[in-house]
Structures are given as structure tokens and as C-alpha cells.
């Protein structure tokens, strides 16, 4: 988008956080817009950077949005850590059970059996089979 902007264009976003990931990114974009004569409007926050008050509001709301994202991140990390202490593990359910992995090891003892064939038998990809075999030592 920034490559196609020209002087007197106006960038309109629904929410300020849709424009950039960090306050630094937002400020850099705003400065770039100003240097190229591009106006910026955020509908949700009612920010119009063509005015001094709008520019001040942009910086204040950008700081608050950055603070909010950091709080959410910290809370998420704390929640995941608490879940781990209670024995909960995140992520997907394993495609191969411990029994499947033992059978796969046994199947691979046959010199005529390939990993591709074993993976096909268990309806998993070869990398999934390799990961399961490597994580489970028999």
C-alpha cells in the first residue's frame, strides 16, 4: 500500500491496530505519511492526523493499544504456565499413539518395509512418523 501512495491521498483504517503491530511501526508509518503529504484517518478512534489534536490522539491511543497488547500477551503466557503446572499440555492431539509407535518400530525391523509404507499404513506423513519415532526411544 505504501508504495502506491501519492501526495494528497488519504489512508483510512477501521481500527488503529490494523495499521501496525507496534507503536514504533505506527509512528514510523505516520511520519512517512506526513513526509509524503498523505493524510491518515482511523474511523474507530476518530483520529485525523491533519490536525495537531488528531496527531496527539494518535500517539496516545497508539501507546494505549501497545500497552493492551502487552497485557494480553503477559496474561496468555501466565495462563499457559498455570495450565502446565496443572499437567495440561497445549497443542494438537498426537496422530500416533504409543501403541502405534511400538508397532511402527516393529514393522521397520523388517528390511523389506520402508518408512513410507509404514507411514501410509498409519495414514500419517513420513515426517510425522519420523518425529514420533525420534521422540519415542524403544
Distance CA 99, CA 20 (A): 47
Per-residue confidence in pLDDT tens, the chain, 138 aa? 878 888 888 888 888 778 887 777 887 888 788 888 888 888 887 888 778 888 788 778 778 878 888 999 999 999 999 999 998 888 888 899 999 999 999 999 999 999 999 999 999 999 999 999 998 765
Classify the phi-psi angles of 8: left when phi > 0, otherwise alpha if psi is within -120 to 50, otherwise beta: left
- Burial pattern 81-99, b for ≥16 Cβ within 10 A else e, equals eeeeeeeeeeeeeeebeee
**Of 47, 51, 37, 41, the residue nearest 7 (C-alpha):** 37
Query: Is the CB of residue 43 less than 8 Å from the CB of residue 37?
Result: no
Amino acid at each position: 500500500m505504501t508504495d502506491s501512495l501519492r501526495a494528497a491521498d488519504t489512508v483510512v483504517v477501521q481500527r488503529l491496530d490494523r495499521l501496525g503491530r507496534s507503536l514504533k511501526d505506527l509512528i514510523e508509518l505516520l511520519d512517512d505519511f506526513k513526509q509524503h503529504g498523505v493524510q491518515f484517518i482511523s474511523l474507530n478512534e476518530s483520529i485525523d492526523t491533519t490536525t495537531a489534536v488528531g496527531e496527539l490522539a494518535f500517539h496516545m491511543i497508539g501507546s494505549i493499544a501497545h500497552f493492551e497488547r502487552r497485557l494480553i500477551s503477559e496474561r496468555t503466557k501466565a495462563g499457559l504456565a498455570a495450565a502446565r503446572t496443572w499437567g495440561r499440555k497445549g497443542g494438537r492431539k498426537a496422530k500416533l499413539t504409543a501403541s502405534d509407535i511400538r508397532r511402527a518400530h516393529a514393522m521397520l525391523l523388517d528390511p523389506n518395509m520402508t518408512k513410507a509404507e509404514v507411514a501410509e499404513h498409519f495414514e500419517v506423513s513420513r515426517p510425522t512418523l519420523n518425529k514420533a519415532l525420534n521422540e519415542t526411544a524403544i
